[in-house]
Amino acid sequence: MDSSRKANREDNEVTLQYQSPQEALQLEELNGEKLSQLLTSIEQLKQTSAGVAEIQRRIKIFGDCERIEGETSGQFYGRLHHWLERHLPQTKLPLHAPRQSGD
């Protein structure tokens, strides 16, 4: 393979991935808004007994989802959104009701 063609292709990919500082700022502001909305919906969920139970169950199964120091709003939003959208495994229910001993 011609190494100059490969270098040009890699340079083009880097150029396409470049974000101007203004674009990066707009994206971070959008992610901040999304994160704010998601945190608000979680707080509303905590106002109901079913919501509190679901949050507690998610913490028990997946662990707590807290913001890590140095994490951007976009990174935390993605992680928190994934944490909330993950499928909760079905709880094991007994096949039969417990038998009563007739003492």
Question: In a structure prediction context, what are the per-residue pLDDT tens digits for the chain, which is 103 residues long?
Answer: 566 666 666 666 666 567 788 888 888 899 899 999 999 999 999 999 999 999 999 999 999 999 999 998 989 999 999 999 998 877 666 666 666 665 5
pTM across the whole model:
0.64
Residue 93's Cα: distance from chain center in Å?
28
Distance in angstroms (rounded) separating the CA atoms of residues 42 and 51? 8
| One-letter amino acid for residue 92 of the chain | K
Q: Which residue has the tokens 């106002």?
A: 47
